[in-house]
């Protein structure tokens, strides 16, 4: 399917990002649908508002603790005992799941992981979540923040690796590491489910607020990484799928943001055809999944940070951006960027 070019003018606007134009709101009046739950959407909705957009929420996916807690607990105990030479973390939600395990043992995650264990992160958001928990990251792909990118950076040779991941995780990462000589133990760290999750099993982003100091981006624990926390999402209207579909059919939604291939599948099933609504993907895997489903990808965010996502929305709804287009800076200029 067609994939709209991000365009040179939009690229120049991106290059000028960080040079604040006071009061400039390039998305003024645009309604943007964010397919996240309120507790994970706060920083993005705040950034969209800064740019002048009206964010709306359509929670599609939620997360529950692993149903096989015994298997996850055994792997976590082995991690703490120093059995693994490497811990590979592929999402911010995995960090939450590991923190949940540590909290159940009245420990912090950085205390639990031995200093001798090396840690790899798929992208900057995951890296920042780990670093916010006091954990050093030894390997992260510098450009392509994906399973393929991490496999390219992975050193050849034997090593015992723990890979906690979602129940729906693709096998590419484990297979790629194994092909380079690693002995990989995978374990389900959490389950991705339709929203809302079972309240008794829900792995909420609030877990991070309880466990970590140094909260930034409107009180959130993961500065610039992912979408943890609801402080800025509380006043944002949450739509049902039927309401979102009606708004898209009426041409009232400028863009919809999808964070994962599973979100793309849900958008295709519940909301298509999108009409004038632009599809904005986070990462190449989400974009590829959308295109396979027949959705036109208007823009792809290179990183899953609020700033880059707003920039991608701008590229989608204004394919030929005016020369003076700029984006607002983050509320906290010290917050770092990162994907996934």
Residues in the chain: 340
How confident is the model over 71-81, as a mean pLDDT? 98
DSSP 216: B
What is the full DSSP assignment across 157-201? S-EEEEEEEETT--THHHHHHHHTTEEEEEEEEEEEEESSPPTTT
| CA distances for 103 relative to 76, 77, 112, 322, angstroms | 12, 13, 10, 50
Domain with CATH 3.40.50.10090 in the chain: 8-60+225-317, 63-194
- Looking at residue 19, its pLDDT comes to 36
Give pTM, 2 decimals.
0.76
pLDDT at 219 over 70: no
- Looking at residue 22, its pLDDT comes to 54
| CA distances for 307 relative to 36, 240, 254, 296, angstroms | 16, 26, 18, 22
- Looking at residue 249, its pLDDT comes to 97
d(CA 131, CA 154) in angstroms, rounded, equals 20
pLDDT at 97 over 70: yes
pLDDT tens, residue by residue, 125-179? 899 999 999 999 999 999 888 899 999 999 999 999 999 999 999 999 999 999 9
pLDDT tens, residue by residue, 170-208? 999 999 999 999 999 999 999 999 999 999 999 987 433
d(CA 169, CA 191) in angstroms, rounded, equals 10
The pair of structure tokens assigned to 110 is 């950085």
How confident is the model over 273-293, as a mean pLDDT? 95
- Looking at residue 320, its pLDDT comes to 58
pLDDT at 9 over 80: no
- Looking at residue 145, its pLDDT comes to 84
- Looking at residue 230, its pLDDT comes to 44
Q: 23 pLDDT band (50/70/90 cuts)?
A: low
How confident is the model over 306-325, as a mean pLDDT? 78
Q: Which CATH number describes the domain made up of 63-194? A: 3.40.50.10090
Could you give the 3-state DSSP secondary structure of residue 211?
Answer: helix
pLDDT at 121 over 90: yes
Contacts of 59 (CB under 8 A, 6+ apart): 35, 36, 37, 38, 195, 196, 238
pLDDT at 58 over 90: yes
- Looking at residue 305, its pLDDT comes to 81
How confident is the model over 222-245, as a mean pLDDT? 65
Q: Which CATH number describes the domain made up of 8-60+225-317? A: 3.40.50.10090
**With pLDDT > 90 as the criterion, what percentage of the chain qualifies?**
69
């Amino acid at each position: 399917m067609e994939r709209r070019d991000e365009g040179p003018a939009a690229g120049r606007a991106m290059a000028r990002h960080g040079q604040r134009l006071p009061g400039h709101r390039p998305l003024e009046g645009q309604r943007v649908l964010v397919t996240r739950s309120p507790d994970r959407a706060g920083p993005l909705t705040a950034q969209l508002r800064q740019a002048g957009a009206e964010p709306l929420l359509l929670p599609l996916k939620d997360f529950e603790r692993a149903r096989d807690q015994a298997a996850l607990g055994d792997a976590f105990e082995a991690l703490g005992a120093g059995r693994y030479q490497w811990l590979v973390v592929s999402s911010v939600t995995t960090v939450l799941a590991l923190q949940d395990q540590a909290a159940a043992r009245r420990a912090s995650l950085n205390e639990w992981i031995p200093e001798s264990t090396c840690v790899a992160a798929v992208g900057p958001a995951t890296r920042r979540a780990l670093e916010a928990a006091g954990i050093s990251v030894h390997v992260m792909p510098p450009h392509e923040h994906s399973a393929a990118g991490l496999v390219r950076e992975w050193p050849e040779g034997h090593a015992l690796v723990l890979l906690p991941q979602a129940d729906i995780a693709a096998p590419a990462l484990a297979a790629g590491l194994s092909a380079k000589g690693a002995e990989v133990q995978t374990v389900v760290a959490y389950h991705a489910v339709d929203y809302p999750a079972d309240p008794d099993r829900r792995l909420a982003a609030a877990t991070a607020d309880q466990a970590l100091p140094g909260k930034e981006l409107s009180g959130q624990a993961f500065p610039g990484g992912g979408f943890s926390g609801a402080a800025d999402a509380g006043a944002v209207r949450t739509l049902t799928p039927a309401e979102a579909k009606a708004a898209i059919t009426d041409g009232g939604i400028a863009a919809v943001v999808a964070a994962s291939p599973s979100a793309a599948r849900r958008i295709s099933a519940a909301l298509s055809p999108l009409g004038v609504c632009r599809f904005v993907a986070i990462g190449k895997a989400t974009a590829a999944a959308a295109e396979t489903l027949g959705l036109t990808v208007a823009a792809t965010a290179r990183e899953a940070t609020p700033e880059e996502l707003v920039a991608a929305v701008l590229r989608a709804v204004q394919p030929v951006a005016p020369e003076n287009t700029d984006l607002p800076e983050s509320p906290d200029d010290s917050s770092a960027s990162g994907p996934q």
